[in-house]
Structure 1
Amino acid sequence: MNPESFKPQHFLWHFDGGVGTVTLNRPDRMNPLTFESYAEMRDMFRELVYVPEVKAIVVTGAAGNFSSGGDVHEIIGPLVEMDMPGLLKFTRMTGDLVKAMRNCPQPIIAAVDGICVGAGAIMSMASDLRIATPEAKTAFLFNRVGLAGCDMGACAILPRIIGQGRASELLFTGRTMGAEEGERWGFFNKLSTKADLMKDAQDMAARLASGPTFANGMTKNQLNMEWDMSLDTAIEAEAQAQAICMQTKDFERAYHAFVAKKKPVFEGD
């Protein structure tokens, strides 16, 4: 994947200053996901593991909404007609998108405005950081369409962000979580106005992109791996990860900059 020339078919991609921006772009339907967009985003996030030029990612939606989730006509309708092997193939494919988002080393920032429901809420959840407007409406609404709340890793990830009790409420009821509630609960890191949303998300991404990106990738990896580690195992894993980071040139650059009373310029190696 060449980030300069990458032209996806089912969403928009913009690359500048080390930051890749993914925009879900079906505004007439509030940016729903399709079989094809799921697969193309999954493949993109998988490839980003091998694209160090991309140092941070912003995911957003066009025209005032993040995403309305799976397209009713292009996904929900066909699912009703599928047999069990076909359904399992689909649910594994959607779960693979979350795996790819969590396994790519670049930090992902979700810039959320308006509707953010179903698989859209999952994509926001699977990101590393989330910024929203006061108009953001987030719902894990699987229960409301007769499905379990355990979709695409929701029962594993959401409780770790907002706590077991709050996650249980959202997953059992499918109700909408408002933006202020989401910030209070820790789902959103920050609230921005509509006018400032993308600027704030891009500024945060640029800050991360200018940091020690190898070390940032190590942090993300440890955040993933330590979910099911004992404390002793986690401390040992972090000791090894930090020793590796201490061998990087960025660590040396930071030391020399500190001695010279200058701001370090990191290069990700």
Structure 2
Amino acid sequence: MSTQPQHFLYEVRDGVATLTLNRPERKNPLTFASYAELRDLFRALADANDVKAVVLTGAGDNFCSGGDVHDIIGPLTKLDMPGLLAFTRMTGDLVKAMRACPQPIVAAIDGVCAGAGAMLALASDIRLGTARSKTAFLFTRVGLAGADMGACALLPRVIGQGRASELLYTGRSMNGVEAERWGFFNSVHEPEALLEAARAFAQGLASGPTFAHGITKKMLQQEWNMGVDEAIEAEAQAQAICMMTQDFHRAYHAFVAKQKPQFEGN
């Protein structure tokens, strides 16, 4: 993918794309334009053969403070219902694009992770954080429902219905230690080691069977709406497809030769 985004930093190295929200002086808030550009980038990643995994992070000491108060919240108070619905659908489309892109997304979360920023973290596949981070689904703090960008569907599946209900009703902050204990963070790191840990995790995924990773992500998303019997059948079909890949054969021959397989994603 050759396009260079205008509203955040983007680089690809050794199969790992690092996407950095880059307004550190304001704790990396989102604007109308950056929402749309993020949505478009994650959609485009489906065709980015050079990208095997993604790291999502924020510049400075914060992840993302959510929608910019001046660039988004203020203008929203002046829109009519069709305009408001167009905006809320657009923000939801960003989460859909993140869940639909085949590459695993590893979020590196330090400092403030609030509102739409918390949803970016939640829509990622893996979340690494710091003890000092503060994650808040603070929609109720501004008089809105906790139901935003898929929060009521996604959060209970990650941390459970009761804990999700608490965070979505109260809008309170969850520190990194609690986030790890509740299963929101996969692991907690020192701030200076966080980004490198996220990149190392993503690099490990990028060097694995990436076609199969894409199938895993697809099934994790798709099976939420299936019964157990349907899910078992869907996984039978998905696994049969993966058994046709060269990576499956490489793994077998490497095992027989007592070597580590070198996956190529095909």
Shorter-chain TM-score: what band?
over 0.9
Structure 1 counterpart of 2:86: 89
**Aligned partner letter, 1:186:** G
Give, in angstroms, the shift of residue 134 of structure 1. Answer: 1.0
Structure 2 counterpart of 1:250: 247
**Aligned partner letter, 1:128:** D
**Aligned partner letter, 2:164:** A
Give, in angstroms, the shift of residue 264 of structure 1. Answer: 0.2
Structure 1 counterpart of 2:165: 168
Distance 1:201 1:67 in 2: 16
From 50, 57, 65, the equivalent of 2:62 is 65
Distance 2:11 2:48 in 1: 15
Structure 2 counterpart of 1:224: 221
Deviations 1:110-161 (A, max 9, x none): 0000000000000000000000011110000000100000000000000000
State yes or no: 1:21 paired with 2:18. Answer: yes
Give the alignment of 1:122-201 within 5 angstroms: 122-201=119-198
Deviations 1:201-254 (A, max 9, x none): 000000000000000000000000000100000000000000000000000000
Structure 2 counterpart of 1:51: 48
Give, in angstroms, the shift of residue 53 of structure 1. Answer: 1.5
Distance 2:145 2:192 in 1: 36
State yes or no: 1:8 paired with 2:5. Answer: yes
Distance 2:212 2:127 in 1: 21
Give, in angstroms, the shift of residue 39 of structure 1. Answer: 0.2
Distance 1:250 1:29 in 2: 45
Alignment root-mean-square deviation, CA: 0.5
Greater mean deviation of Cα atoms: 44-53 or 30-39 = 44-53
Provide the TM-score with structure 1 as the length reference: 0.98
Structure 1 SS opposite 2:174: strand
**Aligned partner letter, 1:124:** A
Give, in angstroms, the shift of residue 84 of structure 1. Answer: 0.2
Provide the TM-score with structure 2 as the length reference: 0.99
From 211, 215, 224, the equivalent of 2:212 is 215
Unaligned runs of 5+ in 2: none
Give, in angstroms, the shift of residue 52 of structure 1. Answer: 2.2
Structure 2 SS opposite 1:196: helix
**Aligned partner letter, 1:24:** L
**Aligned partner letter, 1:252:** H
Distance 2:101 2:21 in 1: 19
Give, in angstroms, the shift of residue 7 of structure 1. Answer: 1.2
- Structure 1 runs (4+) deviating above 6 angstroms are none
Structure 2 counterpart of 1:98: 95
Distance 2:120 2:89 in 1: 15
Identity over aligned pairs, percent: 67
**Aligned partner letter, 1:85:** P
Structure 2 counterpart of 1:238: 235
Distance 2:195 2:44 in 1: 24
State yes or no: 1:118 paired with 2:93. Answer: no
Structure 2 SS opposite 1:131: strand
**Aligned partner letter, 1:168:** S
